[in-house]
Amino acid sequence: MEAREVALSGGVTAHVETAGSGPAVLLLHAGVADRHMWDRQWDWLQKGFRTVRWDWRGFGDTPHVPGPFSYANDVIAIMDALDISSATLIGCSFGGATALQVAIQHPQRVERLVLSGPGVPGYEGENPPEVDALFEEAEKAARADDGAQFLAIMEKAWLVGPAREVSEVDPQYLARARELLRRADRPDNGAESTDLEFSAVDALPHLDIPVLGIVGLEDVPDILDAVQYLGRTLPQVQVEEIEGAAHLPNMEKPRQFDAILSDWLAATGGSARSIED
């Protein structure tokens, strides 16, 4: 593995890890984790690809700084710094939403997309009242600066899934996911993402590249809805559902996730070697 510091806008420096050789694959983590959510995929993808990962600004080892910025622009800055002309983007949740934005704004830089439980910028799915109430409680906890309660709600919503109990979830997965959740988000310190203004909706029918959508069936309902929306809208899309997984299926059900991903990469022109358990 190689690591280097990449300067981003506003004086932020990202610690970027690269491993392997071949076509480039960028791993974009979820907003409830950091780059280490991809540890298992990192190990096998580098056998056939030049694999890249880092922590978003405000997550893990990358700080926020005051002022406007764009996560999508950060992806392009890192690609430029590593002399990567085009890549496959693999993004989970917020990372998937950012991958979509990069593909739409910079189509020449993105060969394929893998979107795991993604948000779709500009598309509003629906949640049942009890799930909306859960997120309202999270907002109250955040406003009250009750970090423990906020993390507990985030764990329930995203790591466990709103329809399950903790007792139904593998404890080894949950312990690791909890650890990443606690490292995930830092105070914004006056930083402001301009990506909130972006909508992907009008561009989706014209995004004519291979896309794999993956979703855990225990995920939040509006995420399930968003993935189905992508399945109805994108020209070249394959949608796969994973039973017994919530928002991080690559961690909770890694064998199923990896098999789906490996087969799709091979079918769409990639070179993924055998997956080791």
Looking only at the bridges linking them, the beta strands covering 50-53 and 13-19 are antiparallel
Going by C-beta distance under 8 Å and a sequence separation of 6 or more, which residues neighbour residue 196? none
CB 250 within 8 A of CB 38: yes
pLDDT of residue 271: 44
pLDDT of residue 185: 67
Domain residue ranges of the chain, discontinuous segments joined by +: 2-125+187-267, 133-184
**Interval 129-182: pLDDT, tens:** 999 999 999 999 988 989 899 999 999 999 999 999 999 999 999 999 999 998
Tokens of 197: 């203004």
Dihedral (CA of 26, 107, 222, 258) sign: negative
Regions of the chain short of the pLDDT cut 50: 271-277
Residue with tokens 């009008």, as numbered in its chain: 202
DSSP string of 71-114, one letter each residue: HHHHHHHHHHHTT-S-EEEEEETHHHHHHHHHHHH-GGGEEEEE
pLDDT of residue 276: 44
pLDDT of residue 125: 84
Q: Amino acid identity of 182?
A: R
CB 34 within 8 A of CB 55: yes
Please provide the CATH number assigned to the domain covering 2-125+187-267. 3.40.50.1820
Cα–Cα–Cα angle for 273, 275, 277, rounded to 5 degrees: 160
pLDDT of residue 270: 53
Residue from 206, 212, 205, 214 nearest 268 by CA: 212
Q: What pTM does this model have?
A: 0.95
